[in-house]
Amino acid sequence: MESLWSVEKIRSILPHRYPFLFIDKVIKINTNERKVTCLKDVTANEYYFQGHFPGRPIMPGVIIVEALAQTSIILYAALKPDQAAKKPLYYLGKVEAKFKKAVLPGSQLFLQAEAEKLVATAGIIKAKAIVADEVVAEASISFGVKIEDDNSA
């Protein structure tokens, strides 16, 4: 599956890096529907499987939420490219999540984010994580965006 964005572009938007970058590819961007889909290939080698849990690897729910929050930043960047280019600080405000099914090694984790309300300074996002066409988690995510005063020019 091809990515619409290069790894460099993803890294230019998301400040996260290993071991906390959970987006491999950006698969779909629909600015009219205010929706994006990203992909994380969950391999058997993910570092968190060492401890969660020994002999019984399950992707931690908090990491699925983090992946959905990162997808929300990609959505913000798709809808507000000029603001995102200023490399603002993104901070998570509120999460309501439901987990429906365990995510196991070898899964293709599709991460969907849809803007319920999104402005330059904040967003409320409806997000879903999907494996093999089945919703494994859903979340409502609120985040704030702070563009630091640019005196650097």
Partner 1 sequence: MAKNIDKIKQEVKSLVSDITEIPEADLAEDAKFTEDLGVDSMMALEIVASIEKKYKTPVPEEKIPNLQSLKDIYDLLEELL
Which residues are marked as active site? 52
- Angstrom CA distances, 28 to 11, 37, 92, stand at 17, 5, 23
H/E stretch holding 71: helix 61-79
Buried b (16+ CB within 10 A) or exposed e, 116-127: eebeeebbbbbb
Q: Of 93 and 105, which CB lies nearer to partner 1 in the complex structure?
A: 93
Q: Of 94 and 101, which CB lies nearer to partner 1 in the complex structure?
A: 94
Site string for partner 1, 109-148 (x = CB under 8 A): -------xx-xxxxxx-----------------xxxx---
Q: Of 102 and 147, which CB lies nearer to partner 1 in the complex structure?
A: 147
Hey, which residues between 42 and 101 contact partner 1 (CB under 8 A)? 93-94
Distance in angstroms (rounded) separating the CA atoms of residues 3 and 145: 25
Interface contacts to partner 1, rule CB under 8 A:
93-94, 116-117, 119-124, 142-145
